[in-house]
Amino acid sequence: MTDEPTAKRRRIFSGMQPSGEAHLGNFLGALKPWVELQEQHDCIWCIVDDHAITSGSDPKELPRRTFDLAVSYLAVGLDPEKAILFVQSDVAEHTELAWLFNAVTPVGDLERMTQYKDKSQQFESVPAGILNYPILQAADILLYRADAVPVGEDQRQHLELTRDIARKWNAAYGDYFPEPEGLIGTVGRIVGLDGNAKMSKSLGNTVGILADPDEIWGRVRTAVTDPQRVKRNDPGRPEVCNVYTLHGHLTDPLRVEEIADQCRTAEIGCVDCKRILAESISETFAPMRERAEHFRRRPDEVRDVLDHGAERARAIARETIGEVRERMGLDWRSAVPSG
């Protein structure tokens, strides 16, 4: 009898912009899968503050938001003993590699990015950072020679560009960078409480993961449900109700089936369904709120985690940059005769 083959251990990289405390969409779409991935793979989780300034940011708010996101990382269960946690700007090799990748990245490829087309409409004079954002994203991933990246559908195009940059660089300077695979299944599109757009703090259609029960209920009670269910005794259609979809992520599976049956037969109304969801969210967030309070009272622990993570990240990054510089002819000392 032979043993079952073990899953391949991979190096995985991902990051999140520092917008402060993480929210429900971040948790369901990214952070929860990250916690699961770190149990089986070599994971590197970054707070990408260099990305946050590509179109301008408030220099007074950015440090606080970075710290708050770090607390959220730790609160949800990202473990510095199992993964590397750090802040992007603490590892200068990210921006150095992004500059070097400019040498192999056609401007036309950048201009075709859907996010560039969308975001550039917001500016009278488009910052170069908006155009070059995907190059820095590629550098983030390839600096650690990651072979897998958990991404949502909206980042799929950027990942393809990362793979293309790796191919072009390898063709020019020799095979070195992997072409990372997208772990699309680990990150889904979480629709906000408005039932329409993707969950976003800026749209106000979500709830912070550290919110207390009253705040959670205050947000969930505004959630959009089945538009055809006007009266309490109208039969509902859980398959088209976003509140019911969220139950699938947060509520006990047996209870979810029961809610669907009771909704269809009008045994429970939309308010009842929302209240159960608010309770499920509150129960999910309770241990996170407790851990977050621990770290907020001990900010030095958070700094130590990020500093140690940056040291570990730099050790990998220096090796990569050393190889890249040598292959690109930037190691001029090799041409200087000794003696």
Q: pLDDT digits over 28-79, tens only?
A: 999 999 999 999 999 999 999 999 998 777 899 999 999 999 999 999 999 9
Q: In CATH, what is the architecture of 11-189+299-335? A: 3-Layer(aba) Sandwich (3.40)
Give the model's pLDDT for residue 332: 85
Residue 32 among the catalytic residues: no
Residue 119 among the catalytic residues: yes
Residue 60 among the catalytic residues: no
Structure tokens at 188: 């889904």
For 84-101, what is the mean pLDDT?
98
Q: Place 186 in a pLDDT band, splitting at 50, 70 and 90.
A: low
Q: What percent of the chain has pLDDT over 70?
A: 96
More confident residue, 226 or 173: 173
Q: What percent of the chain has pLDDT over 90?
A: 70
Encode burial over 166-204: b for 16+ CB neighbours within 10 A, e otherwise: bebbbeebeeebbebebbeebbeebbbbbbeebbbbeee
For 270-286, what is the mean pLDDT?
94
Give the model's pLDDT for residue 208: 94
Catalytic residue among 119, 168, 231, 274: 119
Q: Place 327 in a pLDDT band, splitting at 50, 70 and 90.
A: very high
Catalytic residue among 60, 198, 231, 274: 198
Q: What is the DSSP string of 135-192?
A: HHHHHHHHTTT-SEE---GGGHHHHHHHHHHHHHHHHHH-S-S--PEE-GGG----B-
User: Domain 213-294 sits in which CATH superfamily?
Assistant: Tyrosyl-Transfer RNA Synthetase (1.10.240.10)
What is the rounded distance in angstroms from the CA atom of residue 49 to the CA atom of residue 27?
19
**Residue 189 confidence (pLDDT) above 90:** no
Q: Place 260 in a pLDDT band, splitting at 50, 70 and 90.
A: confident
Contact 218/193 with Cβ under 8 angstroms?
no
Give per-residue pLDDT as tens, 106-156: 999 999 998 888 888 888 888 999 999 999 999 999 999 999 999 877 788
Write the CB contacts of 263 (distance below 8 Å, at least 6 apart in sequence): 235, 236, 237, 238, 241, 244, 273
**Residue 317 confidence (pLDDT) above 90:** yes
Contact 226/270 with Cβ under 8 angstroms?
yes
**Residue 5 confidence (pLDDT) above 90:** no
Give the model's pLDDT for residue 4: 42
Give the model's pLDDT for residue 6: 53
Question: What are the phi and psi torsion angles at 75 (to 5°)?
Answer: -65, -35
**Residue 1 confidence (pLDDT) above 50:** no
Catalytic residue among 32, 82, 168, 201: 201
Q: Do domains 11-189+299-335 and 213-294 have the same CATH topology?
A: no
**Residue 2 confidence (pLDDT) above 80:** no
Delimit the domains of the chain by residue range.
Answer: 11-189+299-335, 213-294
**Residue 190 confidence (pLDDT) above 60:** yes
Give per-residue pLDDT as tens, 288-302: 999 999 999 999 999
